[in-house]
Amino acid sequence: MDTAVPKNHRKRVLVVGLVLILLMSIVLILSYWMPHGLLINTRDLRIAIVEHGQFLDDVVVRANAKPLESVILDAVESGRVEEVFVTDGTTVDKGAALFRLSNPQRLLELLARQSDQATQISNLSNMRANLQESITDHERRIADLEFVVAQASKRYDRNKNLAEHGFISDVALNDDAEKLAQQRYALEKEIQHGAREIDIKRNGLKQMEQASARLESGLKLMAESIEALTVRAPRAGRLTDFHLQLGEGVTSNQHIGRIDDPSHFKLTADVDEYYLNRIAPGRTGKTQIDGKEFAIKVARVYPQIDKGRFGIDIVFTGQQPVALSPGQSTDVQIVLGDPATALLLPNDAFLNDSDGAYVYVLDQDEKIAEKRTIRLGRRSNAQVEVIAGLNAGDKVIVSGYTGFGSMNRLQLTKL
């Protein structure tokens, strides 16, 4: 009978062990050559070294020139353009005629007011004549009554003397006394009633004069409105945005242009909202125009945020630039604080992508970049102050991080 030969398991174990050793070697080799993290070409990066330096606490903004003062021209009267005396861009003097309108309705209203004024003047003349006639009649009646009283008084005095000698009876003397009293009463009443009548007529005349004055004032305003159909420059300057044509209809309050100060300018700029709490009226700075430096000052800050920016007005504190035109652009440096020694990084694209919360720091071999949390302080257009998280000499990627996603490690290559 055949004898069973036992299997040799030692050979199988040896083969399996060799295979495992080979696989582990391959894994180690691959892990050595495979990148640790996202593979990035250093040619696509901007790398800066953290270093101590002088932090210049300022900001540079792009500003546009605008006239320091402008007068808006809006139509006061409506009408049809009959004449245009100037063109857009012309330098005009104060009071110079710009254009003339026609408005038949205003002319009709003026004629009606003039007719009303003529009627009022006629009525006023009649009232004055009537008042003077009343005063004359009143004075004549008083004079007549005063004469009658004087005659009655003389008669009474004469008869009283006769009565004392017995030539006239007491009854006749009493009749004379009653007539004298009656005449005096009539005189007193005439003085009172006549004065009251004259006062009433004088008050009526005064009211009529006031009404006539109001009518005259209205007529004057109407005449001024007719005169206003010829629009004149309210100040000297350069006429801008003026495009009226003959025959064109103009409505009240219609914008027809503006007059700019041709020799004094201001600058306007939009600034990142990061600087809203640091830029205030009174901040000083400088700008260069045609190779010459000019001192400036922030005159006004508009705190409303629009698309991450706010507006400011800037004025020149000294000499005005001669060669400056509306709309011309220039870079303005605004000082926010005194220079100070600090740990610095360049102000670059990484700030927008990381919001200044982290950076990628290179190792000594510059083959690996690790994400590191940091804390930044003040910023200027060229620099940013490092408060924590970095040391002097650290090499940091300062270009944009948009392609890195949420990776914590980058493998750098020079392919």
What DSSP assignment string belongs to 127-138?
HHHHHHHHHHHH
Q: How many CB atoms lie within 10 A of CB 180?
A: 19
Of 342, 255, 260, the closest CA to residue 69 belongs to 260
Is the pLDDT assigned to residue 96 strictly greater than 80? yes
End residue of a domain, out of 203, 227, 251? 227
- List pLDDT tens digits, range 146-161: 888 888 788 877 777 7
Residues 108 and 218 in one domain: yes
Pair (250, 354) in one structural domain: no
Q: Which residue has the tokens 């159909």?
A: 229
**Cα-based torsion angle of the residue sequence 173, 174, 176, 177 in order, rounded to the nearest 10 degrees:** 120
Domain annotation covers residue 11: no
CATH number for the domain spanning 96: value is 2.40.50.100
The verdict on residue 7 lying in a domain is no
Are residues 313 and 373 located together in one domain of the fold?
A: no
152 and 96 in one domain? no
Across the chain, mean pLDDT equals 82
Looking at residue 300, what is its pLDDT?
Answer: 94
Q: By residue range, what is the domain housing residue 245?
A: 70-100+229-259
pLDDT at 9 over 70: no
Q: Indicate the residue among 214, 242, 259 that finishes a domain.
A: 259
Q: How confident is the model at residue 28 (pLDDT cuts 50, 70, 90)?
A: low
Distance CA 363, CA 298 (A): 45
Task: Quote the CA–CA distance of 241 and 256 in Å, as a whole number.
Answer: 7
Residue 202: what are its φ and ψ, rounded to 5°?
A: -65, -40
- pLDDT computed for residue 160 by the predictor: 76
Residues 365/369/373/374 CA torsion (nearest 10 deg) = 60
Burial-class residue 396 by CB neighbours within 10 Å (0-12, 13-18, 19+): buried
- The tokens 């495979």 sit on which residue? 34
pLDDT of 298 strictly over 90 = yes
pLDDT 10s digits, 226-247: 777 788 888 888 888 888 888 8
Is position 344 within any domain? yes
**Residue 214 reports pLDDT greater than 80:** no
Q: Which of 382, 412, 379 is nearest to 396 (CA)?
A: 412
- 279 vs 57: CA distance, rounded Å: 12
CA distance linking residue 263 with residue 19, whole number of Å:
90
138 and 220, same domain (yes or no)? yes
* 25 has pLDDT over 70: no
Domain C-terminal end among 215, 244, 259: 259
Name the DSSP class of 167. Answer: S
Q: Tell whether 15 is covered by a domain.
A: no
Tokens of 143: 């004079």
Give the range with max mean pLDDT: 13-22, 114-123, 264-273: 264-273
pLDDT for residue 31 is more than 50: no
Q: Count how many domains the chain has.
A: 4
Q: Rg of the Cα trace of the chain?
A: 52
* E strand or H helix that includes residue 104: helix 104-164
Question: 17 in a domain, yes or no?
Answer: no
Tell which wins on pLDDT, 396 or 10.
396
| Lowest mean pLDDT segment, chosen from 11-20, 95-104, 152-161, 269-278 | 11-20
- Could you tell me if residue 25 is inside a domain? no
At 311, the pLDDT band (50, 70, 90 cuts) reads very high
CATH of residue 367's domain is 2.40.420.20
What local confidence, expressed as pLDDT, does residue 365 receive? 84
Neighbour count for residue 110 (Cβ, 10 Å)? 15
Three-class secondary structure of residue 19 per DSSP: helix
Work out the average pLDDT over 44-70: 88
Residue 29's pLDDT band (cuts 50, 70, 90)? low
> Residue 10: is its pLDDT beyond 70?
no
In this prediction, residue 270 has a pLDDT band, given cuts at 50, 70 and 90, of very high
Is pTM, for the whole model, over 0.85?
A: no
Same domain, 112 and 223: yes
More confident position, 12 or 345: 345
d(CA 270, CA 312): 7
Pairing of strands 265-272, 284-289: unpaired
On the question of pLDDT at 284 being above 60, the answer is: yes
Measured CA distances, 298 to 269, 329, 371 (Å): 10, 17, 39
Q: How many CA atoms lie within 13 A of 251 on its CB side?
A: 1
368-412 pLDDT tens trace? 888 999 999 888 878 899 999 999 989 999 998 888 888 888 888
What integer pLDDT is reported at residue 318 of this predicted model? 83
pLDDT recorded at residue 32: 44
3-state secondary structure of 260: strand
H/E stretch holding 350 reads helix 350-354
